[in-house]
Structure 1
Amino acid sequence: MKVVMLSTDPSVLVSGSPARERMQAYSTIAEKLYVIVLHRVSKEKPPVALAAEVPSRIRIGRRLVLCPTYSSSKIGMFFDCLRVAKKVLPPKNSGVRTQWLITAQNPFEVGILGAFLAWRHDVRLELQLHTDMESPYFKHQSVANLMRTYTARFLIPRAAGVRVVSTRIARSIAARARRKPSVLPVCVSVGVLRTSPIRLEIRKKYPQFDFFILVVSRLTREKDVGTALKALGEVVKKYPKTGLLIIGDGPERKNLELQATSYKLQANVMFLGWQEDVLSYYRGAHVYLLTSLYEGYARTLVEAASLGCPVVTSDVGVSGELFAHDNNALVCPVGDADCFARELLRIREDGHLARALSVRAEQTINDHVIAKEDYLMQCAKIWRECLK
């Protein structure tokens, strides 16, 4: 089979990047994999490319071809994608419908492109869904998200297949899909995580704290890190040497810094930006905290749990699928700062509970996380099903 993947991740064009490595892995299960990278460029944002020149195609081995659009605007991306796809996909009525598959990174804007190309060239379409679009928090976050939800509801019944990252998402769209959605969790290299060396002793770097709460997240509204700050405020009243380390950055950082100041938590909160050595923070923290309003999968939960860090999380993503309250994690309703504070205090005050949660979570990860080879085999099977 030949696959055309529509991607919005420009890091695919960077040699050695995780995204590039994923594409190379995908190419091993297809006769040919063309990745059309919807990449917007300008004077302020020059092209992400391998060399000084800007190639229209980047061939990697015999099976992988990267096709960046290098568009000057969002609208231009649509027409540039059509132009690139016309050179790659077979013409309509060429009799190869069951040999070509288009897979779109999401069922929203990229899904519209994928659906149009599938109709124009008479080939099959797979939609990928990596977020919980039926969550009320997603739909009501913005008018754009509400429109995305309705777009996905229109496209999903018309796709040959839908691939999602969690059972939670599969259940939410099952009634709309032509066939049962395929669940393929995010591939987390647990073995690599566990064998990576500890490069930083955070308990030595921040001696002012005797208890560490870790958050690893983009600082955006849906991550609801403000609720983590509210919960910390309650914990600090009883244990003033508690520290919250926030790894990540984003448009909400300034607001969160102001919020920490208004709660008089400047001495307890460290905004660290993105860090290369996140694993050392997972290993050094006493608890990992996730307060998101919605998630598709919540990869950081799996990473933290696989390294023995107890987890306190909102009921999103794989919570309920991999993590159960009072079994291998502590789970709170979305946005419930009082619950988060209460569960953080339980971890702080009950070392036996923390160890039990950690051990059971590690065992769950061992039992459920799939290896890279199995992930690719399942993906190939899903693609073949779409072509039937």
Structure 2
Amino acid sequence: MTIPIAFVVNNFDVGGLEKVVLGLLRRLDPARFRPFAVCVDGPGRLFADVPLPRERVLVLDKSKARKIGPFSFDPAVLTTMARFFFANGIRVVHAHNLAPLVLGGLAARLVFPRPKVVYSEHNQIYSASDAHVSRFRHYVKLADRVIAVSYDLERTLARRIGLRDGVSVVHNGIDGKRFTRNPSAIAKIRAELGVAEDEFLVGTAVVISKQKGLVHLLGAAERVVRADPKVRFVIAGDGPLRAELEEKARVSGLGDKVRFLGYRSDIPDLVSALDTYVLPSLWEGLPLALLEGLAIGVPLVATTVGGNPEVIVPGENGYLVPPKDEGALADAILRVKAGGPAFAHEVRERGRSRFERAFSEEAMTRAHESLYDAVLQG
């Protein structure tokens, strides 16, 4: 008999958390597990990618809910979710981030027999205020098991909320078949971007938000371009800070040395065309963007936050720098360039091997399946 599992998310908007859940929905062994999905705040832009028949998906609307404390509660949302759990015999509720935990955890308590509740913490605890941490400490009691997506996140949960028992580390993973180096696309992408053969292309593909630290990438870019005008930068993605950062790049005199590309559907090809993938985040759990660069085999430069040091081995597949340190970021980019084709080749060989061992979607899914089994037996 298959085990029905309900994945509870805010929605399927564009982000790493949502892509992780989509990967689990695709990869869970259908002979053992029957996945369902619950969106507590509308469908989101990636909803069409949900690989489930619509009768296995529940989309709720919090817009009319009453605000109680930090969350919007609507009794109708809880009862509708509870009925969905009961009607489908849900045995595990897997909530991703805090609001889905609160709503999914409370709804689970309206069902008999009560489903087990698993909670995945992706990165919210890093930026949480003291008041938020206090609430977090209370609401996490709704979970029978907590998943941290990196060892650093596990340590942070212990330090900030005293959570030491019942935590398992499961690294995020991505689809290795999709994220492979595409040599045939490299010349096409670089020509589209106007990058000459002798120029060095640095890039990133992220949601353009404060978390990603892109203001410091622009500061580093100024230093790099002064030292070596043959270096170009591209930033793919959209987000709340895009217009502000575009204006900063303009007034900084970077001109055509930095291009904002907006949303791209060809991220694997774009990353294949890069000479260095950079991620200057201020905080992270375990960013999929870094795993994409690792899988494709591009040298990586990232900050020493969250799970980044669990992905990058300095000198082997890239370099790590302190967050907000624009000088160190610039130096690391120039160091990759100085390594030349020999270093790039070594990174491709080592990076792909490291990805397949630890960060593939398949490895992530098998680890989750083992955890679900353990929770149900506990």
- Both structures adopt the same fold (TM-score exceeding 0.5): yes
Offset, 1:276: 1.1
Q: Deviations over 1:353-378 (max 9, x none)?
A: 44444433333223323452x43332
Name 1:131's counterpart in structure 2: 123
Which of 311, 314, 334 is matched with 2:303 structurally? 314
- Tell me, in whole angstroms, the C-alpha distance in 1 between the residues paired with 2:29 and 2:80: 19
Is 1:168 paired with 2:155? no
Name 2:84's counterpart in structure 1: 88
Q: Which amino acid aligns with 1:160?
A: D
Q: Deviations over 1:131-155 (max 9, x none)?
A: 161x3xx13xxxxx55443332223
Which of 44, 48, 66 is matched with 2:57 structurally? 66
Give the % identical residues: 20
Name 2:94's counterpart in structure 1: 103
Corresponding residue SS for 1:193: coil
Q: Is the 8 A contact 2:119 2:146 kept in 1?
A: yes
TM alignment of 1:331-346, pairs within 5 A: 331-346=320-335
Q: Deviations over 1:262-293 (max 9, x none)?
A: 21112211100011111122111111110001
Alignment length (residue pairs): 355
- Cα distance change of structure 1 residues 67 and 158 upon mapping to structure 2, 3 Å threshold: closer
Instruction: Identify, as 1 or 2, the structure richer in helix.
Output: 2
Unmatched segments (≥5 aa) in structure 1: 51-57, 140-144
Which of 183, 186, 193 is matched with 2:169 structurally? 183
Offset, 1:33: 3.6
Corresponding residue SS for 2:265: coil
Name 1:214's counterpart in structure 2: 203
Q: Which amino acid aligns with 2:238?
A: D
- Cα distance change of structure 1 residues 348 and 20 upon mapping to structure 2, 3 Å threshold: closer
Unmatched segments (≥5 aa) in structure 2: 67-71
Name 2:357's counterpart in structure 1: 367
Q: Deviations over 1:299-327 (max 9, x none)?
A: 11121122121111101243222212223
- Cα distance change of structure 1 residues 275 and 178 upon mapping to structure 2, 3 Å threshold: same
TM alignment of 1:295-310, pairs within 5 A: 295-310=284-299
Q: Which amino acid aligns with 2:9?
A: S
Q: Which amino acid aligns with 2:99?
A: E
- Tell me, in whole angstroms, the C-alpha distance in 2 between the residues paired with 1:27 and 1:9: 23
User: Quick check: 262-271 or 354-363, which moved more?
Assistant: 354-363
Is 1:386 paired with 2:378? no
TM-score, length basis structure 1: 0.80
Corresponding residue SS for 1:81: helix
Name 1:55's counterpart in structure 2: none
Name 2:6's counterpart in structure 1: 4
Q: Is the 8 A contact 2:236 2:262 kept in 1?
A: yes
Q: Is the 8 A contact 2:207 2:237 kept in 1?
A: yes
